[in-house]
Amino acid sequence: MFLEKYRMVAMPQAMWAEFIVDDEKCTGCGRCVNACPVQLIEVREKKSRSNERYDAFRCLTCENCAAVCPENAITIEKDYRVPRGFWKNIHVYPGTKTPAAPIGNERTYEEIKEKLTPVERVIYERRSNRLFKKKQVPPELVRRIIEAGRFAPSAGNNQPWKFIVIQSPDVLDELNRQSKKTLRFFSKLCVPDTWMDKRTPGDKNASLKNWQKILLWLLVWFVGGDADQRAHGGLNAVTSDPDFHIFFNAPTMILILADKRAIGGTRLDIGICAQNMVLAAHSLGLGTCYIDLITKAVGFDKKFQKKLGIDHPFEIATTLAIGYPLGKIDGPVRREPQRVHWIS
Cα–Cα distance measured from residue 16 to residue 165, given in angstroms and rounded to the nearest whole number:
38
pLDDT of residue 187: 86
Domains of the chain: 1-128+327-344 (3.30.70.20), 132-324 (3.40.109.10)
Of 327, 339, 338, nearest to 127 (Cα)? Answer: 327
pTM for the whole structure: 0.91
DSSP 49: E
Quote the pLDDT of residue 315: 92
Report which residue type is found at 182. T
Residues near 91 by beta carbon (within 8 Å), at least 6 away in sequence: none
CB atoms within 10 A of CB 83: 14
Residue by residue, pLDDT tens for the chain (344 residues) are: 555 566 677 778 888 888 899 999 999 999 999 999 888 888 988 999 887 776 555 788 899 999 999 999 999 988 999 998 888 899 898 788 888 888 877 788 888 889 999 999 999 999 999 999 999 999 999 999 999 999 999 999 999 999 999 999 999 999 998 888 888 888 888 888 888 887 777 777 788 899 988 888 888 878 888 888 888 878 888 888 888 899 999 999 999 999 999 998 899 999 999 999 999 999 999 999 999 888 877 877 788 888 889 999 999 999 999 999 999 899 888 899 888 889 99
136-140: long-range contacts at Cβ-Cβ below 8 A with a sequence spacing of 24 or more? 136/167, 136/251, 136/252, 136/323, 137/167, 137/251, 137/252, 137/286, 137/322, 137/323, 137/324
Q: What is the pLDDT of residue 3?
A: 59
